[in-house]
Amino acid sequence: MVANDDQWGAHTQKKKTWYLTTPIYYPSDNLHIGHAYTTVAADALARFHRLYGDEVLFVTGTDEHGQKIAQKAAEAGKTPKDFVDGIVAFIQDPLWKTLKVSYDRFIRTTDADHIEVVQHVFKQLLDQGDIYKGTYEGWYCLPDETFWTESKLVDGKCPDCGRPVERVSQESYFFAMGRYQQRMKEYILSHPHFIQPPSRRNEMLSFLDSGLEDLSISRTGLSWGIPVPDDPAHVIYVWFDALLNYLTAAGYSSPSGQFENTWPPDVQLVGKEIVRFHTIIWPIILMALNLPLPERVFGHGWLLIGDTKMSKSRGNAVDPLELVEKYGVDAVRYYLLREVPFGADGNYTEESLRLRINVDLANDLGNLLSRTTAMINRFAEGRIPSLHTQRREIDRLLPDLAAEVYEGVENAMHHLLISDAIQQVYRLIRAANKYIEDRAPWKLAKDPAFREDLDNVLYNLAETLRVVSVLLTPFLIDTPDKIRKQLGLTAPIKSYREAIFGQLKGGEEIARGEPLFPRLDLHGDKDGSEVLTTGALLPNNPGAKAEPKPDGGTPGTEREGTGTVEEIGIDEFQKIDLRVGTIRHAEVVPSADRLLKLTIFDGERDRTVVSGIRAHYDAGELIGRQVVLVANLKPVKLRGIVSEGMLLAGSHGDLLSLIAPSTPLPEGARVK
Ligand code: ME8
């Protein structure tokens, strides 16, 4: 049964369901990370709103009719239904299941309730004169399933995708859109938030100004579609059918009252190439049905490969499941949500994904957790201390920033600025890492007079991590729980308000665990044998080969090849404290053309190491790399900077290569 007027009249006090949709994708092939991009973004919004206390209806699905699918099915030697059944099953599981997409309904345009809605709407619009029968003469873009008039073609090709179009001439039903042109324009002008981002709004206004023709909405000679009621020689145009999915999924045909409580959609996410369908054709259908229009249609940008849109038909698609297999679901979700400001186009490269993993996830977040838990273990017997009165201004820094970030994330998410929301969380994470440096708990621990200070610092760090675990919940799946487990917290996160600072009681027993994200070697695996064949200790200033080492290294120990080193016993070797560290920052030392100033996390603290590797490495490429550090060298001053160690590297002639573990290790791991 389709919603009738009585239902509109029924009033309920219930808070409106927050209704969010993605496009419904063509199951003509397996989907790629472009589709995952929209769907994971929608998932993050849905999770945020659930955490925020909203009743959410999050809908995604598949657009299964039309000529393109019929052709693909024929090529595969299957009936269209069998063909799409196979692909749809795959999209649901493993694809969306693996990416943890928490949709409430997966709608298929072959679902019975949808077919009922489409036929009902068609009939209603036909009865009221918004649909009429005529003859269509024009052009059709098969890959986009779009009709075009001669005047809109660009160089005789589809103006959207640039591909060839085919001539169509047939009897057709038309949707009388033209008559709504002015009303639609006024609506867009009087609802500045309807089309987002604003650049897409301007595009649509100029499209409307160029004239709006009636739309052909049926085809003959094609059986794979929803038949026009009482005229089965025609099937309903696939876009007309597809757009109505948003009504079906909201319960338009159901007598349950769900529709009244759900309509209109709060956010409709679409890629920028289908903004026109969603902000002109779709709202005009709704106007004709006398239904409220969606609050916001957001047209996000494209993931590109080089300069080209990633797409199934261009054959440059990247499989999200392969990435998850390699890097894990949270890393892939993080990348999709964080890398590109939502709305803009962005270039996909695997290197940029790996860099995000190393810098943001392994370094900034992973280190904060491992340093905090390591220090609580060491300085507070493994229990998060309770907070004492925070007497020092510096100790207010994290609570104050957390309050700012709480609002910042909330604000960004309400404006669909997902990447910005994540950046807000990272302001807090980075500030906490800096706070460790500034407060140097290992120094406070040396003097019992600073016991309360030390407790406060450790509390602030643990509490910041707890807050971060809540703030990250819409974006990452396993990580928030992993953080909480290490902090000794077991209760599941239920509300966004848990991200308010100060709720940790103190006394929780921490449980150190695996690093959150294994660090990746950004430059391919290093061959460990290099250490043995050319195992030179790289001094802070390797250019000065024969000079006495300012850091206390013995002259003459550096050589190439083998054979000139005097024998030492294992005892002597064991005097050298070699440890794995991670480079967190790297910068050029001004006025020293060979030197880089590195900040290296050694599992306990950040050390500064001045190293003469600038001729071989750019500062930027070093961040996130693991290195082997000679940790017990006496500090020396180089160019006014105290250098607290050396890096291990192999060298041969002009070649120089830093030595790193062949698979990532926790910082502080002994090298022996
Ligand atoms: O258009 N970058 O389906 P579709 C970002 N069935 N997003 C991308 C992308 C990329 N490279 N490639 C695809 C259809 N997308 C219709 C929709 S809705 C009533 C009918 C995402 O399978 C993006 O959301 O071609 C885009 O709009 C959608 O997938 C297109 O999916």
For the stretch 377-393, pLDDT in tens is 999 999 999 999 978 99
Six-digit token string for 78 = 């299957």
Average pLDDT over residues 20-31: 96
Q: Give CA–CA dist 642/327, Å, rounded.
A: 37
CATH code (residue 65) = 3.40.50.620
Q: For residues 154 and 266, state if they share a domain.
A: yes
122 Cβ neighbours under 8 A, 6+ residues apart: 131, 173, 217, 228, 229, 236, 240
Per-residue pLDDT reduced to its tens digit, 42-72: 999 999 999 999 999 999 999 999 999 999 9
Separation of alpha carbons 556 and 561, rounded Å: 13
Q: For residue 642, list its beta bridge partners.
A: 637
Specify the residue for token string 């094609």: 222
Q: How far apart are CA 134 and CA 65, in angstroms?
A: 23
Q: Which protein residue's CA is at the shortest distance from atom 3 of ligand 1?
A: 25
CB count in 10 Å sphere of residue 133: 13
Indicate whether 415 and 467 sit together in one domain: yes
Return the ligand 1 atom nearest residue 28 CA. 22
The whole-number average pLDDT for the span 606-613 is: 89
pLDDT per residue over 324-366, tens digit each? 999 999 999 999 999 998 899 999 999 999 999 999 999 999 9
Residue 670 lies in a domain: no
Whether residue 377 lies inside any domain: the answer is yes
> Mean per-residue pLDDT for 100-106?
98
CATH code (residue 543): 2.40.50.140
- Domain assignment present for 381: yes
Atom of ligand 1 at shortest distance to CA of 26? 22
The pLDDT value given to residue 7 = 38
468/573 same-domain check: no
The last residue of one of the domains, among 470, 499, 528, is 499
Judged by DSSP in three states, 426 sits in: helix
pLDDT of residue 654: 59
* Ligand 1 geometric centre to CA of 38 (Å): 8
**pLDDT digit string, tens, across residues 32-43:** 999 999 999 999
Do 358 and 267 share a structural domain?
no
Beta pairing partners, 218: 236
Categorize the per-residue pLDDT at 145 as very low, low, confident or very high, splitting at 50, 70 and 90: confident
347 or 570, which is more confident: 347
Is 328 a domain residue?
no
Indicate if ligand 1 lies below 6 Å from the C-beta of 66: no
Residue 530 lies inside a defined structural domain of this protein: no
For residue 574, the CA-to-ligand 1 centroid distance in Å is 59
pLDDT band at 81 (very low <50, low <70, confident <90, very high): very high
CB 610 within 8 A of CB 596: yes
Q: Which atom of ligand 1 is nearest to the CA of 278?
A: 19
Q: Is residue 403 pLDDT above 50, yes or no?
A: yes
- Which tens digits make up the pLDDT trace of 518-537? 989 876 533 322 222 222 22
Residue pair 643/637 in contact by the 8 Å Cβ criterion: yes
Mean pLDDT, all residues of the chain? 88
205 and 77 both lie in a single domain: yes
pLDDT value at residue 524: 53
pLDDT 10s digits, 211-244:
999 999 999 989 999 999 999 999 999 999 999 9
Same domain, 475 and 596: no
Known binding residue 141? Answer is: yes
> What's the average model confidence in pLDDT over 616-626?
76
Domain final residue, candidates 239, 267, 300: 300
Asked if residue 116 is part of any domain, the answer here is yes
- Kind and range of the H or E element at 173? strand 166-175
Q: What is the CATH number of the domain that holds 393?
A: 1.10.730.10
Residue ranges of E strands in 187-307: 195-196, 215-216, 218-220, 227-228, 231-236, 267-271, 296-300, 303-305
Dump pLDDT digits (tens) for 293-319: 999 999 999 999 988 889 877 888 999
Question: Would 446 be classed as within a structural domain?
Answer: yes
CA-wise closest residue to 335 among 476, 480, 474 = 476
- Lookup result for tokens 């990370």: 33
Given a cut of 60, whether residue 540 has pLDDT beyond it is no
Residue 507 backbone zone (phi > 0: left; psi -120 to 50: alpha; other: beta): left
Are residue 73 and residue 199 in the same domain, yes or no? yes
72: in domain: yes
Same-domain status, 553 and 492: no
Task: Quote the tokens at residue 533.
Answer: 């064949």
Q: Is 161 annotated as a binding residue?
A: yes
Calpha distance 489→480 (Å, rounded): 11
Strands 195-196 and 655-658: unpaired
Of 185, 188, 148, give the one whose Cα is nearest residue 164: 148
Q: Are residues 25 and 140 in the same domain?
A: yes
Tell whether 86 and 154 lie within a shared domain. yes
Of 255, 253, 233, 235, nearest to 244 by C-alpha is 253
- Confidence check: pLDDT of 12 > 60: no
pLDDT at position 271 is 97
- Tell me, yes or no, whether 135 and 270 share the same domain: yes
| Pairing status of strand 195-196 against strand 218-220 | unpaired
| 3-state SS class at 282 | helix
Instruction: Quickly list H helices, 11-166.
Output: 33-51, 67-75, 80-90, 97-98, 112-127
Provide the number of structural domains found in the chain.
3
Q: Is 128 annotated as a binding residue?
A: no
Nearest CA to ligand 1 atom 4: 25
Distance 25 CA to ligand 1 centre (A): 6
Residue indicated by tokens 């900034």 = 364
Tell me the two tokens of residue 614.
Answer: 């600038």
633's enclosing H/E stretch is none
Q: Which atom of ligand 1 is nearest to the CA of 272?
A: 27
CB–CB of 57/19 below 8 Å? yes
Domain hosting 552: range is: 536-658
Share of the chain above pLDDT 90, in %: 71
pLDDT of 166-194, one tens digit each?
A: 999 989 999 999 999 999 999 999 999 99
Single out the residue in 474, 499, 524 at which a domain terminates: 499
Ligand 1 pocket residue status of 311, Cβ below 6 Å: yes
Which residue's entry shows tokens 């890492």? 433
Check pocket membership of 302 for ligand 1, CB cut-off 6 A: yes
Q: What confidence tier does 618 reach under pLDDT thresholds 50, 70, 90?
A: confident
Q: Which residues of 177-323 form beta strands (DSSP E)? A: 195-196, 215-216, 218-220, 227-228, 231-236, 267-271, 296-300, 303-305, 308-309
Same domain? 222 vs 359: no
Tell me how crowded residue 411 is: count the other CB atoms within 10 A of its CB: 13
